[in-house]
Structure 1
């Protein structure tokens, strides 16, 4: 069954019922557009030649599916061409990119070199200075992969924290994303880069408090130390949640639609490689100290973790330098002064956005809980060291980077839906694998561990790449910041509540031991069976997502499993370069 046809569906909500200026209804690109409806005065200006060339699929949400949004977001409408539009008549690809980003960038078609559907793709020009975003992502990942990821969980576990406390630590980052809702109302008034820079600076300062907490004298008991660390983590995540409201709208307006898949893949590749290096070095540091073999191992562990947190603070400081160098984007004066109430219900009723948000809720429920459940599994059931856990995470980062190297090149051609379908398949297999291992049906060895690392890396990397790309394509220009904030808040609420609920349930089921023949029920096998069922539901929901440009499932897998390997073999035999 095809996930999505290459032909647009006339009944799909993503297809606007009203034509846009310069559509294919018979009017030429230079003809005047139809007058605006009386119910939604948008203060339209005479269209430029670039605006008139925008195809009908680029019509904004306000003139298409939900007219109620038009009066609210009229002041924040951005010209498709903008003041940076190139001279001359743009191509269709350039016009499409201009409708969703400003400034606009020209686009060209790459001629096909073989019969592959991946050979022809619209290519737009990356904006100047965007490489600073990649460098920023490297140092930013070094920082957050320590502060809100595995090393912080291991520090709390080192202090004797139970699963409920670990669940709270894992829940803080997504729960604080709720603050994007109030932040979205002021982000355009401050400016994207200024707003994000202030938030990142605040959270960098708070890392110093975490370093001081880890280095407190040994007279301070572990409970007090955990409370102080939770306080600084709360402040860190509050500033993170507020400042994140400006980052995705900033990048969406900066990067043209035709190269967003390539940008996201490089961005996530930079993050994956930085995460791998961070986890590998952290693993070496913890392994080299031999904490468990020292008489003063607990005190030495606090010193070592404090040094790791200090390294995260230094990396965060360096990231601020490159964050400031990312090009800013203009914001219209009307958008800065707009104070109209936001129609949250009408935004949520926009069908493509609602379906994507529902899909995200289902996926994030399992991913957020599974993100911390493996730590007590490795520590309690298999009695593995901290360095082994970090090495395992580093191997997963390497696999994710290799996956992004390939799929990042084709995401703009295949579309997001086939990648999301494949991602859900891999993650379903991943959670089934952990359920079988936890239930003692399948032995835990290097072979099964390699399978788990591979499925997790492929599934998570493809989910991150395709999900962000589809969200950027789904969200309309009008009210962009509010759409991103609403999506993030809904998903983050589920991502924050799920680990807490999962941690409490695991604590309640800590003594559960039931045998069903070869199957052994315990707290780990129960939660991983639940995760697998959740992702099977997400796998089914992919078919309901809407994307106007997506390769069918059959074509995608034929290219992935048959034609691409065949061409690779032929190039090896003929000694032709891999292009």
Structure 2
């Protein structure tokens, strides 16, 4: 099975329309930072009084919903990826607005009632997000010229991170000035407003027309895609990296609060610091990856494996703890953005053939959803089970988070080995854009 022809717009026309893409991404970054993603939502769940096992369950729904991509991709392509994306992207803002009723549910039904209410909201949001993003991945490949994808992701990251930084600075101030759940309700309300703007800005982005895909050919095309050894290696390396990064994003804010002793406002400032470094480094990562291909990923994974070591060595409940955490946040900000830019460039340029983008990207989205959901689902119960772990080994404090951080180091190390195998495979075969679409993948 092959996709409908890619838009006939010239690369120059695509570049002229990219400002709409950037504006859409910026407003979506504000929505994400103030609602379901990042430290604000994790701290909100903690404020509700949820144990870490339940926090892990809530956070796992977002990535797990990506499995729907395997079943929905051909239908979404037939209806038109842009049409489906905008419909689901808009509806999920209404679902997010439902979080504003959480304090009332907590008052009426207690912590258990609030947990199930947030769980239903998250499940609804996750399904809508999965449907929308299943359409977004092939649409994004269609509208961005291949020759500048690395730089485009760099520029887009700069714009998105500036928006995120602004939102989180405001969030830090609000968390300091207000108390209880009211501060989180204000942040969620602001996030919903940014989300509505994000939907409106998606309309002028070109491409995404309905395709002519046959349901009967869909699963055969999936099997053919999985015969591509490069795709399989890529998914394997990505799985291990994603598990580690999901653990970092979900539970490092709680490490900072419970073990390091930082208040919520300073934890959000750490995210701001990481975003600021991401702004400064994003274009450099994009420029480097456009010229060196997959080579920058080796440095990224080495830095990613270093982060858990630095967190384990961070002084607990010390006057210098915040400054140490700030330095680590700088490293983390550059590393996370470096991985996203270089990895996505490799996916779209070296792994996915344009004429088979629907099945390749459906597999990719479903896979990262499956493995990404496993991270918080495993980490939450592990943290609850290790709650009484205390001690010291040489200069390393031992606490409930130590097994989690050690496990993430092992995951990143295994990911590095698989990346080396993938790079060797890529060196032996031509990139997807040079393949004959009627020749089977190696």
Residue of structure 2 equivalent to 1:319: 198
**Is residue 420 of structure 1 aligned with residue 420 of structure 2?**
no
275, 280, 284: which one aligns with 2:173? 284
SS at match of 1:479: helix
Alignment match, 1:304: 183
* Aligned residue in 2 for 1:133: 21
Q: Which runs of 5+ in 2 are unaligned?
A: 430-442
Per-residue deviation, 1:469: 0.9
Shift of 1:465: 0.3
Deviations 1:525-548 (A, max 9, x none): 221122122212222222122445
Deviation at 1:251, TM superposition (A): 1.3
**C-alpha separation in 1, matches of 2:209 and 2:428:** 29
Select between 126-135 and 488-497 the one with higher mean Cα deviation. 126-135
Q: Deviations over 1:367-413 (max 9, x none)?
A: 11121221221121123211111111111100111110322233322
CA distance in 1, matches of 2:167, 2:428: 37
Q: Cα gap change, 1:325/1:258 in structure 2, threshold over 3 Å: closer, same or farther?
A: same
8 A Cα contact 1:435 1:526, kept in partner: no
Cα distance in 1 for residues equivalent to 2:133 and 2:147: 24
1:439-489 superposed Cα distances (whole Å, 9 cap, x missing partner): x7x996355323311221121101100111111121113331121111111
For residues 407-486 of structure 1, what are the structure 2 equivalents within 5 Å? 407-415=285-293, 417-437=294-314, 445-473=321-349, 474-486=351-363
Deviation at 1:435, TM superposition (A): 2.1
Q: Which structure 1 residue ranges, 5 or more long, are not aligned?
A: 1-72, 79-100, 107-123, 292-300, 551-579
Please tell me whether the aligned partners of residues 200 and 240 of structure 1 are also in contact (alpha carbons under 8 angstroms).
Answer: yes
Alpha-carbon contact 1:163-1:507 (below 8 Å) kept: yes
2-structure distance, mates of 1:267, 1:252: 14
Distance 1:221 1:447, change over 3 A: closer
CA shift at 1:126, angstroms? Answer: 4.0
| 1:133-191: CA deviation from partner (whole Å, max 9, x where unpaired) | 11011111111222222211111111111111221222121111111112202112111
**8 Å contact 2:305–2:412 — kept in the other structure?**
yes
Matched with 2:8 is 103
Structure 2 CA distance for partners of 1:548 and 1:208, relative to 1, 3 Å: same
Q: Residue 488 of structure 1 corresponds to which residue in structure 2?
A: 365
Q: SS at 1:325's partner residue? A: coil
Matching residue of 2:376: 499
Residues 1:529 and 1:409: Cα distance change in structure 2 (over 3 Å):
same
| CA shift for structure 1 position 216 | 5.1
Deviation string 1:60-86 (CA, Å, 9 cap, x unpaired) is: xxxxxxxxxxxxx15x363xxxxxxxx
Following superposition, the deviation at residue 315 of structure 1 comes to: 0.8
Matched, 1:154 2:43: yes
Q: Is the Cα–Cα contact under 8 Å of residues 170 and 499 in structure 1 kept in the other structure?
A: yes
- Where 1:129 maps in the other structure, the secondary structure is helix
Q: SS at 1:221's partner residue?
A: helix
User: Within 1, Cα distance between the matches of 2:123 and 2:408?
Assistant: 27
TM-score by length of 2: 0.89
Counterpart of 2:387 (choices 478, 503, 510) is: 510
TM-score (norm 1): 0.69
Work out whether 1:186 is the aligned partner of 2:75: yes
Question: 2:307–2:332: 8 Å Cα contact kept in structure 1?
Answer: yes
Q: What pairs up with 1:69-88 in 2 under 5 angstroms?
A: 73-74=1-2, 76=3, 78=5
- Pick from 136, 159, 167 the counterpart of residue 56 of structure 2: 167
Native 8 Å contact 1:126 1:259 kept in 2: no
Contact 2:67 2:369 in 1 (8 A): yes
> What is the root-mean-square deviation of aligned Cα atoms in Å?
2.3
Residue 276 of structure 1 contacts residue 397 of structure 1 at CA under 8 Å; is this kept in 2?
yes
> Secondary structure of 1:128's match?
helix
Are the structure 2 counterparts of residues 155 and 190 from structure 1 closer, same or farther at C-alpha, using a change threshold of 3 Å? Answer: same
Deviates more, 1:219-228 or 1:230-239: 219-228
Write out per-residue CA displacement over residues 240-275 of structure 1, whole angstroms, 9 at most, x where no aligned residue.
011100111011012121111122112222221111
**In structure 2, distance between residues paired with 1:281 and 1:263:** 27
Cα contact 1:200–1:243 (8 A) shared by 2: yes
Q: Which has the higher contact order (CA 8 A, sep 6+)?
A: 2
2-structure distance, mates of 1:447, 1:385: 13
**Aligned: 1:542 with 2:419:** yes
Indicate whether 1:236 and 2:125 are aligned: yes
Cα deviations across residues 346-366 of structure 1 (Å, max 9, x unaligned)? Answer: 312201111111110110111
Q: Does 1:524 pair with 2:401?
A: yes
Greater Rg over alpha carbons, structure? 1
Residue equivalent to 1:197:
86
Taking the aligned partners of 1:548 and 1:469, their CA distance within structure 2 comes to 16
Equivalent-residue separation in structure 2 for 1:329 and 1:151 (angstroms): 33
Structure 2 CA distance for aligned equivalents of residues 359 and 444 of structure 1: 36
Distance 1:339 1:308, change over 3 A: same
Comparing 446-455 with 271-280, greater Cα deviation is found at 446-455
Bigger helix share: 2
Cα shift readout 1:475-528 (whole Å, capped 9, x = no counterpart): 113331121111111121111012111110111111122444444432212211
Q: Which residue is equivalent to 2:242?
A: 364
The count of aligned residue pairs is 423
1:105 Cα deviation after fit: 3.3
Decide whether aligned partners of structure 1 residues 180 and 428 sit closer, same or farther in structure 2, where only a CA change above 3 A counts.
Answer: same
